[in-house]
Structure 1
Amino acid sequence: MTEQTQQLQNQLWNIANTLRGKMDADDFRDYILGFIFYKYLSKKMELYANEILKPDNLKFRELDGHAQEEAYLDAVRDAALDKLGYFLLPSELFSELARRGNAGGVHKFILGDLAKVLTHIEQSTMGSESEEDFGNLFEDLDLTSSKLGKSENDKNELIVKVLSHLDEIDFDIANTESDMLGDAYEYLIGQFASGAGKKAGEFYTPQQVSKVLAQLVAHGKDKIKSVYDPTCGSGSLLLRVAKEVNNKGIQFFGQEMNPTTYNLCRMNMIMHDVHYKRFDIKNENTLEKPQHEDMRFDAVVANPPFSAKWSASPLFMSDDRFSAYGKLAPKSKADFAFVQHMVHQLSDNGTMAVVLPHGVLFRGAAEGHIRKYLIEDRNYLDAVIGLPANIFYGTSIPTCILVMKKERTNKDNILFIDASQHFEKVKTQNYLREEDINLIIDTYTNRTTTDKYSYVATLQEVAENDYNLNIPRYVDTFEEEEPVDLAAVAQELKAIDTDMATTDATIADYCNQLGIDTPF
């Protein structure tokens, strides 16, 4: 991380804390990220418009009152809708709102204007190809909420203060070689997750875990055309895959059930300069209403909600995602339903990596049946990786990663890795260090058996264990205790008895001198 990126992260987090005292973590996350996003869109709009107007020696801000204002604005609007996916008027730019709100050092009322601008950004896309990608993006920025203040003036005071602080920060958007702002945005999402408790798992996968999943699905591939996450949250996992393969042309696909998190994901994509034509994120329940069912992807990654409930309707027995297995995942535990869904979406030469609770490795009944089918009938399971406990926000349970491929190079074995004891404790969370991640990936690459860390099990061994994948069955982590020298212990006990007798005699002597009874 560069010093400049670190500085930007600190500046944005300090501004976020301006709102922290006014509302809870979830609410101030939505406001501060929304305002940062608005500034980003404004700056992109201005830079692109200036580029278009350059042959006419004009600046976007200079169009107000120009003799050919409407003609120029129409030309910029058409170009911007195709290139950027949205349009803003010069008077609607972030810096203009911030200036009007703080004109002459006095806070002027701008809440009404701000609400109109945010609505207009969304409306500007109507009827265009980007309409779905920008629709309702700002619906969580409720400028009338009492959470911002008791009176309208209190709300305006707070908003103007935040906009003014943000306006002073250089996002360095003109630098196309830098993703400084995107990285800072990711940092803020992570900071909010660290304080969000159980809700954090709904929108964020810790970056070190994302890195492991991304490197696993990118392993052995020079290029990945498409990546899919059926429970994409804020989109950090999707973006991490692209970063690992350094592929700027990768297509992103995802589905997210929570509307607020769905908006956050789309913002995150755009903030990382992903063109609206390169991502397709849907807001719907993945298991009940899949939105990309007919598509297949080179890489599939996910951190689904652990042991979530789902309908497990008998109608799904005729669904192509589940029908071949003969059984559905139980209503109270949808873990394997997500696995089946992901396998269905995986291309023949693709790789999928999914984080799941340890129960999927050994639970019986329908889950045991599905597990056996995936291994014995399909031979899709490539590796099982145990992660440390307390590595995810909001839960301390130990988790594992299942890696699956439809066309496996190592068809006669399954690799087991126990990385549960390789971590660093940071405050209340456990954290995978760079060396821990490298050890996992190196072991996966070389498929080596390492004492107390990894084991390459034959399919026959797995079958003999009745397809139970519990890692300790394959990786022996038992630490023998040093043998006890009973003779030495006996000598120590004798020495203690002698010391006690000496102490008792000393106490008795003191008692006699004082003329009192001894206590024994």
Structure 2
Amino acid sequence: MSKTKEFEQQIKDLIDDLKSVCAQYGLGNDGNEFKVITQVFLYKLLNDKFVYQIKKLDPRLEKAGKDWELELNKFSDDEYEVLEMELGEKTAKIGKNHFIQNLFDLQNEANFAKLFDNTLLDIAKENSEIFSVLTSGKTKIVLFEEVSKYVTDERDAFCKALINKLITFSFEGIFEEKFDFFAAIFEYLIKDYNSDSGGKYAEYFTPHAVSKIMARCLVNNEVSNVTCYDPSAGSGTLLMNLAHQIGENKSTIYTQDISQKSSSLLRLNLILNDLVHSLPNVVKGNTIKDPYHRSEDGKLQKFDYIVSNPPFKLDFSDYRDELDSKANQERFFAGIPNVPKSKKESMAIYLLFLQHIMYSLSEKGKAAIVVPTGFITAQSGIDKKIREKMVESKMLAGVVSMPSNIFATTGTNVSILFLDKSNKCDVVLIDASNLGTKVKEGKNQKTVLSEAEEDRIIEVFNSKTAEDDFSVVVSYEDIKAKNYSLSAGQYFEVKIEYVDITPEEFEEKLNVFKSNLSELFAEGKKLEKEIEKNLEGLSYGD
């Protein structure tokens, strides 16, 4: 096993151990288990990152090896403060008495749970300026809260059990790893927590194939100093892929999501992927009702790249009429879905996200949005008005229609819609619905694309290549002529196959068809007589 795979397995074992502790103290499959696991994991990660960085800064600590903490305790307060200043903003500050080793040594103290909680709270306070995320009301959501409060009894024992799991492993060996490593760890960490209660809002984790295709079709050349935005960010999977494609140090991320849970996951994802500088731009709030990110003039901020897997349907009837205002006329140019008499939860909120994204693109901005495939062919209503605007404004790059069940948790067929305000000519439409392999994932069936299939989609899209029964390249005029349909299948050529045969072979085939027809007609007459006979035998009132 490679060193990387060995580290990956050790981290997965740590996550499983933490979940086991939660189960032993009554938190298994509890809504609060997620809060404990993610906070304790993050504490461990930040602790080890701090140790890793200070060892690089001071040779004395590196030389001390496992006894680094004894050596560090020799530092004066002023020396320690200088060391922290040299770390920069990407590494959270950890006080001398806040290390995991210190807690491990003190675990037999009275009221250990309080000591554990206060350690987390102190770290959160010390790092609130950089590592907090915001609500739309500008309230800070700090790194940590009390963990022991989630168990009713044996709080000291619970916190001791957590510390004893954390002390057995060090993250120090993984900080030179790259995006794919951390993506796999993050996916494993949140696999039991990747949808909210009832599954009514967007998934927290978009499948890797979808994320990869979106990022690599959006960015296929060198860019730098760009802004990236997701108005329904979830755990940030789409943004992590996009930032990695651009370069983490060349992009700044902005997000908003209505779920506090997703904001916590997103913060963890940003820290894992060396995007700490974007943490102040993570906002918990309702993007449709109260969009947060604005320019200095108070107008909604415009972004260079936007990715989104928005919720498709959600009841927003409580504030639907508030949206129908003069201030929102330009943003929601195609209209706002009406409240249905029944099934309010089926309100197509993705149509509002689509319009918001179009409005939020910079002058040469690009976007990739997951939409239900029905959107690309709808013959009327808001759906069609949005497509008309994309075509008339010449801001469409293409569409990739994905296989069914690409998301294991929904049977809705999805397509990826690509926008590009600089694309004034050809549009590429891809029908990838026949790709992939069906696999079982729990009780659900899922379609998995191979790496070769993913690469085929990306290559065809970026090169604007037409392939029989797979892709087509069309003009904006072509799309208008097809009633603004964005379905690749409607543009494929109908092929008539010609076969050379002799007159004798033709006569033979014709006779076979005549014989088959005669047999079918005879069978039809026989059935007709039987029906008539049965009807004559029926009496009134039967």
Shift of 1:393: 4.2
Alignment counterpart, residue 13 of structure 2, candidates 11, 21, 28: 11
Selected match of 1:443 from 460, 464, 470: 460
How far apart in 1 are the matches of 2:407 and 2:362? 29
SS at match of 1:192: coil
2:419 aligned to which of 404, 408, 428: 404
What are structure 2's unaligned runs of at least 5 residues? 296-300, 340-346, 498-508, 520-542
Deviations 1:159-206 (A, max 9, x none): 433432232223235743556873343232452257878378432111
Give the aligned residue type for 2:485: N
Matched with 1:375 is 391
Tell me the amino acid that sits aligned with residue 418 of structure 1. D
2 CA distance for matches of 1:144 and 1:485?
83
Quickly say closer, same or farther: Cα 1:174–1:187, change in 2 above 3 A.
Answer: closer
Shift of 1:387: 0.9
Partners of 2:314 and 2:201 lie apart in 1 by 15
Shift of the alpha carbon at 1:255?
Answer: 1.1
Tell me which residue corresponds to 2:381.
365
Percent identical among aligned pairs is 20
Residue 232 (structure 2) aligns with = 231
Match of 1:468 in 2: 485
Distance 1:479 1:46, change over 3 A: farther
Structure 2 residue 189 is matched with structure 1 residue 172: no
Map 1:316-355 → 2, pairs under 5 A: 317-319=325-327, 322-323=330-331, 325=333, 327-330=335-338, 332-355=347-370
Q: Give the letter for the 1:283 counterpart.
A: K
**Contact between 1:84 and 1:275, CA under 8 Å: does it hold in 2?**
yes
From 113, 125, 137, the equivalent of 2:115 is 113
- For 1:371, the aligned partner's letter is R
Higher mean displacement: 229-238 or 92-101: 92-101
In the alignment, residue 307 of structure 1 is paired with which amino acid? K
Residues 359 and 73 from structure 1, CA distance in 2 versus in 1: closer, same or farther, beyond 3 angstroms? same
Pairing 1:183-332 to 2, within 5 Å after superposition: 183-189=183-189, 191-192=191-192, 198=199, 201-223=202-224, 225-276=226-277, 280-294=281-295, 295-310=301-316, 311-313=319-321, 317-319=325-327, 322-323=330-331, 325=333, 327-330=335-338, 332=347
TM-score normalised by structure 1 residue count:
0.79
1:387 is aligned, of 402, 408, 413, to: 402
Instruction: Give 1:239 shift.
Output: 1.1
Separation in 2, partners of 1:177, 1:336: 39
Q: Is the CA contact 1:322–1:328 (under 8 Å) kept in the aligned structure 2?
A: no
Partner of 1:43: 48
CA contact (8 A) 2:104 2:163 kept: yes
| Alpha-carbon distance, 1:77 to partner | 5.0
Question: 1:286 Cα deviation (Å)?
Answer: 1.0
Residues 218 and 299, structure 1, Cα contact 8 Å, conserved in 2: no
Change (3 A) 1:78 1:246: closer
In structure 1, how many angstroms separate the alpha carbons of the residues matched to 2:222 and 2:130? 31
Alpha-carbon offset, residue 211 of structure 1: 0.7
Q: Distance in 2 between matches of 1:350 and 1:94?
A: 45
Amino acid in structure 1 at the alignment position of 2:211: S
Give the conservation status (yes or no) of the 8 Å contact 2:133–2:263: no
- Please give the per-residue CA displacement for 1:273-313, whole angstroms capped at 9, x wherever unaligned: 22335762111111111122433322111111113344344
In 1, the alpha carbon distance for the partners of 2:195 and 2:277 equals 31
Q: Secondary structure at the match of 1:456?
A: strand
CA distance in 2, matches of 1:71, 1:474: 71
Does the CA contact (< 8 Å) of 1:297 and 1:350 recur in 2?
Answer: yes
Given that 1:225 and 1:249 are in contact with CA atoms closer than 8 Å, whether structure 2 keeps it comes out as: yes
Equivalent residue in structure 1 for 2:437, among 416, 424, 436: 424
SS at match of 1:385: strand
CA distance in 2, matches of 1:40, 1:261: 19
Matching residue within 31, 35, 39 for 2:36: 31
Aligned residues: 474
Whether the 8 Å CA contact 1:217–1:300 is kept in 2: the answer is: no
Q: Contact 1:140–1:260 (CA<8 Å) still a contact in 2? A: no
The CA distance in 2 between the partners of 1:27 and 1:242, in whole Å, is: 30
- C-alpha contact (below 8 Å) 1:125/1:131 kept by paired residues: yes
Distance 2:113 2:256 in 1: 33
Q: Which amino acid aligns with 2:40?
A: F
Q: 1:231 and 1:194, CA in 2 relative to 1: closer, same or farther beyond 3 A?
A: closer
Cα separation, 2, equivalents of 1:239 and 1:461: 35
How far apart are the structure 1 equivalents of 2:291 and 2:195? 31
Over 3 Å counting, the alpha-carbon distance change for 1:478 and 1:365 in structure 2 is: farther
How far apart, in 1, do the equivalents of 2:239 and 2:402 lie?
Answer: 20
Determine the C-alpha separation between the residues in 2 that align with 1:489 and 1:437: 49
Measured after TM superposition, the shift of residue 404 of structure 1 is 0.4
Q: 1:200 to 1:94 in 2, by over 3 A?
A: farther
In the TM superposition, residue 46 of structure 1 has moved relative to its aligned partner by 2.7
RMSD: 3.7
* Structure 2 CA distance for partners of 1:195 and 1:372, relative to 1, 3 Å: closer
SS of the residue corresponding to residue 400 of structure 1 reads strand
- Tell me, in whole angstroms, the C-alpha distance in 2 between the residues paired with 1:321 and 1:487: 66
1:459 positional shift = 2.4
* Secondary structure, counterpart of 1:4 in structure 2: helix
CA contact (8 A) 1:60 1:90 kept: no
Q: Distance in 2 between matches of 1:478 and 1:420?
A: 20
Deviation, 1:121, is 1.4
Residue 248 and residue 4 in structure 1: after superposition, are their counterparts in 2 closer, same or farther (change >3 A)?
Answer: farther
**One-letter amino acid of the counterpart of residue 465, structure 1:** K
Distance (whole Å) between structure 2 residues aligned to residue 479 and residue 135 of structure 1: 65
Q: Are the equivalent residues in 2 in contact too, given 1:224–1:247 (CA < 8 A)? A: no
Alpha-carbon distance in structure 1 between the residues aligned to 2:73 and 2:462: 64
CA contact (8 A) 2:438 2:446 kept: yes
Aligned to 1:123: 125
Q: CA 1:422/1:61 → structure 2, altered by over 3 Å: closer, same or farther?
A: same
Structure-1 separation of matches of 2:494 and 2:400: 14
Distance 1:490 1:426, change over 3 A: same
Matched letter for residue 273 of structure 2:
H
1:70 aligns with 2:77: yes
Deviation at 1:269, TM superposition (A): 0.6
| Residue identity opposite 1:233 in structure 2 | G
Q: Which runs of 5+ in 1 are unaligned?
A: 495-520
More off after superposition, 115-124 vs 302-311: 302-311
State the shift of 1:114 in Å: 1.4
Question: How far did 1:89 drift?
Answer: 1.7
> Do the aligned partners of residues 231 and 315 (structure 1) sit closer, same or farther apart at CA in structure 2, a change above 3 Å counting?
closer
Q: CA deviation at 1:36?
A: 1.3
Name the structure 1 match of 2:343.
none
Q: Residue 253 of structure 1 aligns to a residue in which SS?
A: strand
